[in-house]
Structure 1
Amino acid sequence: MLTLSGVTKRYPTGDRALTDIELTLPKGQVMALIGPSGAGKSTLIRCVNRLVEPTSGSIRLDDTELTRLSGSGLRKARRSMGMIFQEYALVDRLTVMENVLSGRLGYVGFWRSFLRRYPEDAVAEAFRLLERVGLPHAIDKRADALSGGQRQRVGIARALLQSPKLLLVDEPTASLDPKTSRQIMRLIRELCAERELATIINIHDVALAQQFADRIVGLRAGQIVFDGRPDELTSDILTTIYGEEDWDTSPEPADEPEREPVSYERRDIAGAMATGVAP
């Protein structure tokens, strides 16, 4: 279904983010990309949907050569590739329903979306998806009123409203607590099985990758150093991917230095949330 042949990404500085990537992803398979920061995981995903331009190589989705597309052809191809972002990419001032319906932007055009004139079948499907991801009660809430897990569920529903053939997921659990991370990964896994979606998930959490993926691909310095089943991911292979470490022991909590108590009359906590729309 998805085939990458000789995909390389070289920056103007000469640095290579990816080198001769060869991958084939069949329909219905959930593949996890693991590797250290800077290994090229996010770059690989973004080369597939052309948010990053590969320097060379071929990327085919079914019979379509994605690297040769531009303009309307590329926009049409992106309809079949749903994207779930690490920072959710929701528009905070819009409601949950409006954010989900933005997944149809590639179909309805700017003015219909601006005027919020979506087809009835798209609205009905958005209701069904919000029910499926567990947010039927939050339809009219603004996105900035949601928790991190809820925001990610909105992002999942938005991506699926595109009716994609391929799902690209970039660090879906990076900002979530362990329990919510498992729930989100389980939800993605179930939805992919229900819809027979080919899926690439860029993820740092190796344990989650082993639990929820059919296949694991390890990247190091922009090259594939492992491609196999989760149960084949041994300590030696983890060392190849990440470097030397005792992978058979659980990390012990670090001792924290003693601190003198500090009193505050007031503490202001400011957070920044990424906003945006689906590609």
Structure 2
Amino acid sequence: MLELKNLSKTYRTGDKALQNVTLTVPKGQVMALIGPSGAGKSTLIRCINRLVEPTSGSVILDGTDVTALGSGALRKMRRKMGMIFQQYALVERLTVMENVLSGRLGYVGFWRSYFRKYPQADVDEAFRLLDRVGLLAMADKRADELSGGQRQRVGIARALIQNPRLLLVDEPTASLDPKTSRQIMRLICELCAERDLAAVINIHDVALAQMFVERIVGLKAGELAFDGKPVEMTEDVLTNIYGEEDWHATIREVDDEDAEAEEPVA
């Protein structure tokens, strides 16, 4: 479904952000991307949709080489790649509904979007998505009136209204409290399962990634350092990716969560 073949990115400064990264993300799989700051996680996500141009290698989505597309074909291809941003990227003065509908800009003409004359089918779908993410009652509120968790839910609905084949998620919980972070991760994973969507999630919180995703990929200095299941994230693996540290608490936190989930409800 998504294939990265020897993907590399070297900036003009000479810094190598990515070095020959090769991996495949099948349809419906949610993959977490972890690693220290500067490891190349955000660069990798942005190379997939070419917000950052790769230096070499290829990105293949549904059999199409994204890196070979011209500007017009790339705009159409980006419809298939929903992006959820760390800082939400909402238009503060617009309503929740208008922000969600902005996800349809790649499908409607300029003047229809300028005058906010979206097809009724798009409006209906926006209402359905807002209901699904728990924000139906806030459809007419301005974005700047929302909490961080609510803003991220708007961003999720906006990405999904594109009807994408792939979700690219950049630090969705970085500015959120622990409870809201879990709610957002759970929501993203549930929606991917419902829609059979593949997702690549750049996330700093290793324990949170282990709780929710089925596959974790670790980057270190732009290179692939780990690719496996959450249960395979041992202290040695974490030390290899991040460096020396006492990782026992991180591993224990995940084990405790699993134990709580298995306890019968009284």
- 1:22 counterpart = 2:11: no
* Aligned residues: CA RMSD: 0.7
The corresponding residue for 2:116 is: 116
**Match runs of 1:237-252 below 5 Å:** 237-249=237-249
Q: What's the secondary structure of 1:14's corresponding residue? A: coil
The corresponding residue for 1:275 is: none
The corresponding residue for 2:173 is: 173
Question: In structure 1, what is the Cα distance between the partners aligned to 2:168 and 2:243?
Answer: 27
The corresponding residue for 1:131 is: 131
Structure 1, residues 178-232: CA drift from partner, whole Å, max 9, x if none? 0000000000000000000000000000011001111000001000100000000
Question: In structure 2, what is the Cα distance between the partners aligned to 1:71 and 1:13?
Answer: 26
Structure 1, residues 65-118: CA drift from partner, whole Å, max 9, x if none? 000112210000000000000000000000000000000000002211111011
Letter in 2 for 1:96: V
The corresponding residue for 2:97 is: 97
| Unmatched runs of 5 consecutive residues or more in structure 1 | 251-279
Question: Displacement of 1:13 after TM fit?
Answer: 1.5
The corresponding residue for 1:265 is: none
The corresponding residue for 1:76 is: 76
The corresponding residue for 2:223 is: 223
Letter in 1 for 2:155: G
The corresponding residue for 2:4 is: 4
Question: In structure 1, what is the Cα distance between the partners aligned to 2:223 and 2:7?
Answer: 10
Question: In structure 2, what is the Cα distance between the partners aligned to 1:195 and 1:115?
Answer: 30
Q: What's the secondary structure of 1:6's corresponding residue? A: strand
Q: What's the secondary structure of 2:207's corresponding residue? A: helix
- 1:50 counterpart = 2:50: yes
**Match runs of 1:207-222 below 5 Å:** 207-222=207-222
Question: In structure 1, what is the Cα distance between the partners aligned to 2:160 and 2:224?
Answer: 29
Q: What's the secondary structure of 1:75's corresponding residue? A: helix
Structure 1, residues 27-69: CA drift from partner, whole Å, max 9, x if none? 0000000000000000000000000000000110011100011
Q: What's the secondary structure of 1:23's corresponding residue? A: strand
Letter in 2 for 1:53: E
Structure 1, residues 136-170: CA drift from partner, whole Å, max 9, x if none? 11000000000000000000000000000000000
Question: Displacement of 1:249 after TM fit?
Answer: 3.6
Question: In structure 2, what is the Cα distance between the partners aligned to 1:248 and 1:203?
Answer: 20
Q: Which runs of 4+ in 1 moved over 2 A?
A: none
Question: In structure 2, what is the Cα distance between the partners aligned to 1:28 and 1:109?
Answer: 31
Question: In structure 2, what is the Cα distance between the partners aligned to 1:70 and 1:102?
Answer: 23
Q: What's the secondary structure of 1:167's corresponding residue? A: strand
**TM-score, scaled to structure 2:** 0.93
Question: Displacement of 1:14 after TM fit?
Answer: 1.3
Question: In structure 2, what is the Cα distance between the partners aligned to 1:128 and 1:249?
Answer: 40
Question: In structure 2, what is the Cα distance between the partners aligned to 1:2 and 1:15?
Answer: 26
Q: What's the secondary structure of 1:116's corresponding residue? A: coil
**TM-score, scaled to structure 1:** 0.89
Q: What's the secondary structure of 1:236's corresponding residue? A: helix
The corresponding residue for 2:41 is: 41
The corresponding residue for 2:254 is: none
Question: In structure 2, what is the Cα distance between the partners aligned to 1:71 and 1:237?
Answer: 40
Q: What's the secondary structure of 1:180's corresponding residue? A: helix
Letter in 1 for 2:67: T
- 1:204 counterpart = 2:204: yes
Identity %: 74
Q: What's the secondary structure of 2:225's corresponding residue? A: strand
| Unmatched runs of 5 consecutive residues or more in structure 2 | 251-266
